[in-house]
Structure 1
Amino acid sequence: MVDRFLHSDIQKPWWMAGGYAIELFTDRVLRPHGDIDVVILRRDQQVVHQVLRGWDVQAADPPGHLRPWPAGETLPEHVHDIWCREDRTSPWRIQFMIEDAEGQRWRSRRHPAVTLPVAHLGRRTNRGWPYLAPEVQLHYKAKPVNRPAKDEIDFAAALPLLGGRASRWLDNALRTTIPDHHWRAALRTHRRGW
């Protein structure tokens, strides 16, 4: 199903997200996954209907509750997730996370001071697969409580490969959103090793 985006003629940015983004960054399989996560910009939300015509497409509106999302409807600003499956009896296959951008600047839902140029929001593998920049993905995986083991696995795998700019950006983002997060100490130690 992600192949449909990769090989479509849609000229809008999108990126693999979640654990798959970290695996594409590290170039290795780290753990099992329940579904596929993809990030798109809010202004491009209709590409979901264009590429997945005929699928059961539902919006998390309000968050935590799914409702059918018809083509042509603009989702309210509080909706950040779209769940998709081939039909109403199939398992969920893909979750789209909607990100906001003002012009060419992305803003984190966690804090408006955490920003990045849209051009730096993602990267590409050697085979052309777009994925969310690891520092941005780890920013979203960092949680103040209830830290899932999968997020710790992803952080441990990505940390040795983060460059200076990405490491500094993540540390600054965490300082703004979760100042006492334990990943900050690991990031500082990592940078001192250079």
Structure 2
Amino acid sequence: MLTTKMLPPQARKAFHLLKQFELPWFVAGGWALDLFLGRITRDHSDFEIALFREDQLELQRILKGWRLELATQEGRRIWMPNEWLDLPFHELHTYDSENNHVEFLLNEKSNSDWVFRRNKAIKREISALSMYTDEGIPFLGPEIVLLYKAKEGRDHDELDMRQARDHLGNSRRQWLCHALRIHLPDHPWISQLQ
């Protein structure tokens, strides 16, 4: 079983801070898949946490004292205090005093639904969006993580799909297959999920 002690130091530090954050947040990316599978499946280059866009200023308050950078098309720039970020901005790179890096990803929602930023026709009830470890750490469901990873076609994304595919269960598998048909109708993962 994968425990928080096995996660990178920046993850543990972020979890400690996020205990003050009374709004929803979720481990995202490859680490979310590892939490789902209960084991570390590969090396990871980053640690990502998803939250809802509407909660961004509360995140900024919690991360007081951290260096906060916003990813833009031109590169990165400082995320200014109380600066509200609308789309297309969604990726924040944060660094504590020891230069530990955590990436925060702003997600969209509409009422009780999470909305896929890349195709607003794709939604998931927030109540079905995440799962929890035995230690109570929230992480995005694997179908959400794989939907984001489908765009890239990187080797590690293909590996993540192979590792997670047989553990999805019917409901998550069907949801992902349906979402891919809407967003990337010719994607090879569709046939692998059927």
Structure 1 stretches (4+) deviating beyond 4 angstroms?
none
Matched, 1:138 2:146: yes
**TM-score (structure 1 length as normaliser):** 0.88
> What amino acid sits opposite 1:150 in the alignment?
H
Q: Which string of whole-angstrom CA distances, capped at 9 and with x for unpartnered residues, describes residues 103-139 of structure 1?
A: 2111101211100111211110111111111000000
Structure 1 unaligned runs (5+)? 189-194
For residues 183 and 166 of structure 1, what CA distance do their matches in structure 2 show? 14
Choose the corresponding residue for 1:81, options 69, 91, 105: 91
Report the equivalent of 1:191: none
Structure 2 residues without counterparts, runs of 5 or longer: 1-9
Cα RMSD between the aligned structures? 1.7
- Calculate percent identity across the aligned residue pairs: 32
Give the deviation of 1:12 after TM superposition. Answer: 0.5
Which residue in the other structure is 1:30 paired with? 41
Tell me the residue number matched to 2:135.
Answer: 127
**Residue 186 of structure 2 is aligned with which of 169, 176, 180?**
180
Shift of 1:33: 1.0
Distance 1:63 1:103, change over 3 A: farther
Residue of structure 2 equivalent to 1:164:
170
Aligned with 1:14 (options 4, 15, 25):
25
Q: SS state of the match for residue 98, structure 1?
A: strand
What is the TM-score normalised by the length of structure 2? 0.88
Question: After superposition, what is the alpha-carbon deviation per residue over 1:17-53, rounded to whole angstroms, capped at 9, x for unaligned?
Answer: 1100000000111111112111010001123323222
Is the Cα–Cα contact under 8 Å of residues 21 and 59 in structure 2 kept in the other structure?
Answer: no
**Residue aligning to 1:115:** 123
- Would the alpha carbon gap of residues 181 and 64 (structure 1) be closer, same or farther in structure 2, given more than 3 Å must change? farther
Q: Secondary structure at the match of 1:46?
A: helix
| Deviation per residue, 1:61-120 (Å, 9 max, x gap) | x33521111221111221010011125x93x61111110101211110121110011121
Aligned AA for 2:66?
A: W
